[in-house]
Amino acid sequence: MRSYLLLIGITFITSYLVTPVFRAIGARFMPKIPVRDRDVHEKPTPKLGGVAIILGLALGIGLASQMSFFDGIFRAPEPILGVLWALLIILVMGVLDDLLDLRWWIKLIGQIGVGLVIVKHGIILKALPVGALHFDSPVVQVAVTVVIIVGTMNAINFVDGLDGLAAGISAIGAATFFVYSYMLATRVSAEDYANFSALLCAVLLGATLGFLPHNFRPASIFMGESGVLAIGMLLAVATLAVTGDVLGEDAYRFRNVPAFMPVLLPLGVMVLPYLDLAMSIIRRTANGKSPFTADRGHIHHRMLDLGHPPAVAALILYAWAALVASGVIVISLGNRKVAIPLYVAGFVCVTLVTWWPILKRRRKRLARSRKV
């Protein structure tokens, strides 16, 4: 655990210290994007924060390669090399988008290219623990893997509309997935706790936490396309790698792990981004628009419409993300007699806080009607 904590600390410090540098570069050299009607921020804000996040991720992975604790991961370096190449593509595409505002179909082609790079380097989904569903066709395996990667990247992108929201939810997701991956590693071996997914989530957790103080309201910098795509890619790859472990040739080693965890946990970790993505696609398609057309109908917009201030709305969405993500692990692997009542209590509390502005307005109307 100490090796993972060191990586989290190093990536945190790197991201925290480097972000102001790119904020200054963005303010000096990048074009100022005018504030749009759907935006929550009030003044033009630099969008190079993703570069700082990617640098933190790369440094963390590089440091891990020099630590004997992670020798088992770097002994077969193809998956790690795939992640690094994917980060490089994302970095270039993200900066170009910040400079030139690339068309959606160009970015989609780039995202598919990222997915193919990951597949080329050995991360590919061959089965799901749902009725022993196997993908026998290599073409189907590649297609499903790329769709998961592209979908996760866009899910993070869609939720990145409120100061600190994407970074905070991603940190919660990375922390939850790190705990699960680490627990998985401890159940497999009593000697080697190094795990590919845990490594990715550890560096992602540090990088997002280091960026968050600069991005929480009022944000002085945004992560931009490079940040959301890097985060989405790492979460997707961590998911695919864990699923491959549990369902691979050595699956008997994971017999004490609930078979549904590789499916439920990613859904729990990413429930808000995936839900927002699905609702946006349905809403825009129903209105005869492209799914990539921007609008003001995201979950965070609805929270603001309820009457929550932006910072409070972000904190409430953090609570929902943490509640769902941690609930999957605790209910599946913990003491259910204790976990379920606590989970229900947490659900009730977060629900009340979410709907409090409406309840407060109704209470005031009721009080006025009684006076009349």
Annotate the chain with three-state secondary structure. Answer: CHHHHHHHHHHHHHHHHHHHHHHHHHHHHCCCCCCCCCCCCCCCCCCCHHHHHHHHHHHHHHHHHCCHHHHHHHCCCHHHHHHHHHHHHHHHHHHHHHHHCCCHHHHHHHHHHHHHHHHHCCCCCCEECCCCEECCCHHHHHHHHHHHHHHHHHHHHHHCCCCCHHHHHHHHHHHHHHHHHHHHHHHHCCCCCCCHHHHHHHHHHHHHHHHHHHHCCCCCCCCHHHHHHHHHHHHHHHHHHHHHHHHCCCHHHHCCCCCCHHHHHHHHHCHHHHHHHHHHHHHHHHCCCCCCCCCCCCHHHHHHHHCCCHHHHHHHHHHHHHHHHHHHHHHHHCCHHHHHHHHHHHHHHHHHHHHHHHHHHHHHHHHHHHHC
- The pLDDT of residue 254: 45
- The pLDDT of residue 1: 79
pTM: 0.85
Identify whether the C-beta of residue 60 lies closer than 8 Å to the C-beta of residue 70. Answer: no
Q: What percentage of the chain reaches a pLDDT higher than 90?
A: 37
Identify whether the C-beta of residue 159 lies closer than 8 Å to the C-beta of residue 313. Answer: no
- The pLDDT of residue 186: 76
| Tens digit of each residue's pLDDT (9 = 90 or more) over 190-247 | 566 788 989 999 999 999 999 999 999 888 999 989 999 999 999 999 988 877 654 4
Q: What percentage of the chain reaches a pLDDT higher than 70?
A: 81
- Cross-strand bridge partners of residue 127: 134
Query: Would you mind telling me the total number of residues written for the chain in this entry?
Result: 372
Report whether pLDDT(251) > 50: no
Q: How far is CA 122 from CA 60, 154, 285, in A?
A: 21, 22, 35
* Cα separation, 305 vs 127, whole angstroms: 41
Which range has the worst mean pLDDT, 84-88, 101-105, 276-280, 310-314? 276-280
For residue 201, is it within any domain? Answer: yes
* Section 54-60 average pLDDT: 96
The residue assigned the tokens 């699956």 is 251
For residue 318, is it within any domain? Answer: no
- Cross-strand bridge partners of residue 128: 133
The token duo for 356 is 């409090």
Q: How far is CA 37 from CA 40, 43, 158, in A?
A: 8, 12, 16
- The pLDDT of residue 66: 93
Q: Which residue has better confidence, 266 or 113?
A: 113
| Tens digit of each residue's pLDDT (9 = 90 or more) over 128-157 | 655 456 777 889 989 999 999 998 898 888
For residue 314, is it within any domain? Answer: no
- The pLDDT of residue 111: 96
* Cα separation, 158 vs 6, whole angstroms: 31
Which range has the worst mean pLDDT, 7-11, 63-67, 192-196, 314-318? 192-196
For residue 287, is it within any domain? Answer: no
Report whether pLDDT(20) > 60: yes
- Provide the pLDDT confidence category of residue 57 given band limits of 50, 70 and 90: very high
Is 157 part of any known ligand binding site?
Answer: yes
| Tens digit of each residue's pLDDT (9 = 90 or more) over 149-180 | 998 898 888 777 788 888 998 999 899 889 88
- Provide the pLDDT confidence category of residue 188 given band limits of 50, 70 and 90: low
For residue 143, is it within any domain? Answer: yes
Identify whether the C-beta of residue 270 lies closer than 8 Å to the C-beta of residue 235. Answer: yes
Q: What is the mean pLDDT of the chain?
A: 82
Q: Which amino acid is at 238?
A: A
Show the domain range for 135.
Answer: 2-281
CB count, 10 Å around CB of 170? 33
| Tens digit of each residue's pLDDT (9 = 90 or more) over 325-367 | 777 676 666 667 777 788 888 889 989 998 888 888 877 777 7
For residue 249, is it within any domain? Answer: yes
* Cα separation, 25 vs 47, whole angstroms: 10
* Cα separation, 280 vs 309, whole angstroms: 22
- Provide the pLDDT confidence category of residue 114 given band limits of 50, 70 and 90: very high
Helix axes 224-247, 49-65, angle to 10 degrees: 40
- Provide the pLDDT confidence category of residue 60 given band limits of 50, 70 and 90: very high
Q: Domains in the chain: how many in total?
A: 1
Q: Which amino acid is at 70?
A: F
- Provide the pLDDT confidence category of residue 258 given band limits of 50, 70 and 90: very low
For residue 301, is it within any domain? Answer: no
* Section 13-40 average pLDDT: 80
- The pLDDT of residue 32: 67
By C-alpha distance, which of 181, 174, 182 is closest to 152?
A: 174
Q: How many CA atoms lie within 13 A of 178 on its CB side?
A: 20
* Cα separation, 211 vs 214, whole angstroms: 6
Q: What are phi and psi of 238, to 5 degrees?
A: -60, -40
For residue 313, is it within any domain? Answer: no
